[in-house]
């Protein structure tokens, strides 16, 4: 794999389960009826194509149930939010909240984040969020982590100069892995900050709440696209 991500190369699986508990009738309805209204189309993507103008684009990789994604959308109506999530129960939950909130600046990709990132406009994204990703703690699975050469190459391609990549995790090993991987990339520089404190417009997720209940300390890291 070269430093520039190869969109034709086979993708490594970065998610765990595809589906959890059986979906309720309301959730099935959201997937069948509402998802097509907010889903990304096939082919190249753009802010104008999705939102009708050249607004800034922010992306969340693996949005879970959508708490952070929808909070950002509500607080930033002039920004286009694109969320990618493979876990069907999370997508269904996010769709229910999105419909009730009536937000028009959110689009959903139910599938592989690598594939979605490869279709975004080169240099067209202002911020990308990766919050509490699957840590893949076993050494033989570490290559499945998103913050590896393939994923970083896609981040570098999508982010505009000056754009920001935000990572939140409660796993110290993931912090060390991410810092090591990102330090080898001349396209990025770390943003000096107290990584024990969330960035300014952070919105807590259920995964962070669980980590805190179980005594794990979250870390919040930011890199800037050079």
Catalytic residues: 134
Contact call for residues 190 and 220 (beta carbons, < 8 A): no
Among candidate residues 202, 199, 205, the one with its CA nearest the CA of residue 64: 205
Pairwise CA distance, residues 119 & 23, whole Å:
30
**105 in Cβ contact with 81 (< 8 Å):** yes
Q: Is 54 exposed, middle or buried (0-12, 13-18, 19+ CB in 10 A)?
A: exposed
Q: State the burial class of residue 5 (Cβ atoms within 10 Å of its Cβ: 0-12, 13-18, 19+).
A: buried
Q: What is the Cα 33 distance to its own chain's centre?
A: 24
CA neighbor of 85 nearest in space, from 143, 18, 144:
18
The answer to whether the CB of 69 falls within 8 A of the CB of 106 is: yes
């Amino acid at each position: 794999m070269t430093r520039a991500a190869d969109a034709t190369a086979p993708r490594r699986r970065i998610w765990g389960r595809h589906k959890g508990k059986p979906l309720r009738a309301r959730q099935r309805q959201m997937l069948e009826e509402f998802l097509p209204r907010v889903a990304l189309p096939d082919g190249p993507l753009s802010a104008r194509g999705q939102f009708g103008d050249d607004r800034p684009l922010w992306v969340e990789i693996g949005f879970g149930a959508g708490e952070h994604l929808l909070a950002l959308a509500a607080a930033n109506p002039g920004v286009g939010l694109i969320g990618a999530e493979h876990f069907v129960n999370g997508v269904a939950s996010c769709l229910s909240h999105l419909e009730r909130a009536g937000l028009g600046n959110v689009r959903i990709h139910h599938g592989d984040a690598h594939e979605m990132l490869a279709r975004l406009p080169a240099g067209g994204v202002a911020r990308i969020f990766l919050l509490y990703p699957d840590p893949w703690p076993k050494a033989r699975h570490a290559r499945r982590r998103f913050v590896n050469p393939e994923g970083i190459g896609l981040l570098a391609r999508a982010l505009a100069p000056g754009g920001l990549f935000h990572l939140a995790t409660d796993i110290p090993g993931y912090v060390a892995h991410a810092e090591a991987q990102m330090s080898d990339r001349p396209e990025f520089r770390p943003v000096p900050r107290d990584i024990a404190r969330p960035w300014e417009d952070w919105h807590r997720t259920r995964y962070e709440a669980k980590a805190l209940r179980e005594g794990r300390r979250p870390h919040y890291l930011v890199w800037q696209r050079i």
